[in-house]
Amino acid sequence: MNKITILREAVAELVHDGDSVALEGFTHLIPSVAAHEIIRQKRRDLTLIRMTPDLIYDQLIGMGCAKKLIFSWGGNPGVGSLNRFRDAVEHGWPEPLEIEEHSHAGMANRYVAGASNLPFAVLRGYVGTDLPKVTNTIAPITCPFTGERLMAVPALNPDVAIIHAQQADRRGNVAIWGITGIQKEAALSAKKVIVTVEEVVEEFEPRPFQIVLPSVAVDAISVEPGGAHPSYADGYYDRDNAFYSAWDPIGRDREKFRDWMERHVLGTEDFSAYMESIRKEEVVR
């Protein structure tokens, strides 16, 4: 199966400066390893898309990879703020960050429309909020049958979608189980799809609430065990809650952040070297 490739090459070939990129994951299976590779390859002017931007988006923004963020909730789950994200929005550091914000329902339906090759999606929401005043990708629409007024949001079709999954099989199909969030729609809405996986297996076995993304819907698969740290991979490892807390002071200080990123991300070859490096500092249990 020729889709299995080295992540460095997949990112080099499929992620370009100025692209719109969705690295999705709903607290489960966050594609951290691919985010670090994008940072190492110094991509610029990316439009980052994500319902729940968290640490890896804080890192991409703080390292100057992004010119715009399309999102619905940006925080360090269970801890607090994304300080690099806030610094970019509040003070334009390291450079100004344009933001386009929606609700979760709006973002989810934008991916659904994108995956369905429709130009827009319809939902009940936004009316009476200030979101339409600051986000121009929200427009009223009228039901041609009932005359009822609802809101429309435009489809999302990222240049590249990147997700982390538990397994791929020999034919290049991808299996995700447990909380699968918006990953299927993100992948199917994108022009190119990169998937990092914990391992490659001969055959999938049935798992609770498993979905399978067929190989014809995937462009590149890279085997990156542990690649979702500090989030978790159901069946492989737990969420590293301590790391999320440890990130807060690191992200608060520009120098500390840059130094940390240079030492652990730019200063390492790949994710295993990165994990090695942060373990030394006991950032990780």
Which residues in 35-94 contact a second copy (CB under 8 A)? none
Q: How far is the CB of 222 from other proteins (least distance, A)?
A: 20
Q: Which is nearer to other proteins, 241 or 268 (CB)?
A: 241
Verify binding: residue 165, a second copy, rule CB under 8 A. no
Q: Which is nearer to other proteins, 188 or 223 (CB)?
A: 188
Verify binding: residue 143, a second copy, rule CB under 8 A. yes
Verify binding: residue 117, a second copy, rule CB under 8 A. yes
Q: Which is nearer to a second copy, 86 or 184 (CB)?
A: 184
Q: Which is nearer to other proteins, 137 or 272 (CB)?
A: 137
Verify binding: residue 145, a second copy, rule CB under 8 A. yes
**Closest CA relative to residue 45, chosen from 18, 73, 16, 22:** 18
Verify binding: residue 237, a second copy, rule CB under 8 A. no
Determine which residue in the list 79, 89, 150, 188 makes contact with a second copy, applying CB under 8 A: 150
Instruction: Enumerate residues 171-230 that contact a second copy by CB under 8 A.
Output: 205-210, 212
Q: Which is nearer to a second copy, 30 or 107 (CB)?
A: 107
Q: Which is nearer to a second copy, 59 or 157 (CB)?
A: 157
Verify binding: residue 123, a second copy, rule CB under 8 A. yes
Q: How far is the CB of 79 from a second copy (least distance, A)?
A: 31
Three-state SS string over the chain comes to CCCECCHHHHHHHHCCCCCEEEECCCCECCCHHHHHHHHHCCCCCEEEEECCCCHHHHHHHHCCCEEEEEECCCCECCCECCHHHHHHHHHCCCCCCEEEECCHHHHHHHHHHHHCCCCEEEECCCCCCCHHHHCCCCEEEECCCCCCEEEEEECCCCCEEEEEEEEEECCCCEEECCCCCCHHHHHHHCCEEEEEEEEEECCCCCCCCCEEECHHHCCEEEECCCCCCCCEECCCECCCHHHHHHHHHHHHCHHHHHHHHHHHHHCCCCHHHHHHHHHHCCCCC
Verify binding: residue 282, a second copy, rule CB under 8 A. no
Could you say which of other proteins, a second copy, none residue 129 binds, taking C-beta under 5 to 8 angstroms by partner kind?
Answer: other proteins
Q: Count of CB atoms within 10 A of residue 211's CB?
A: 13
Q: How far is the CB of 166 from a second copy (least distance, A)?
A: 13
Give me the residues that bind a second copy (CB under 8 A), please.
117-120, 122-124, 137, 139-141, 143-146, 148, 150, 152, 154, 205-210, 212
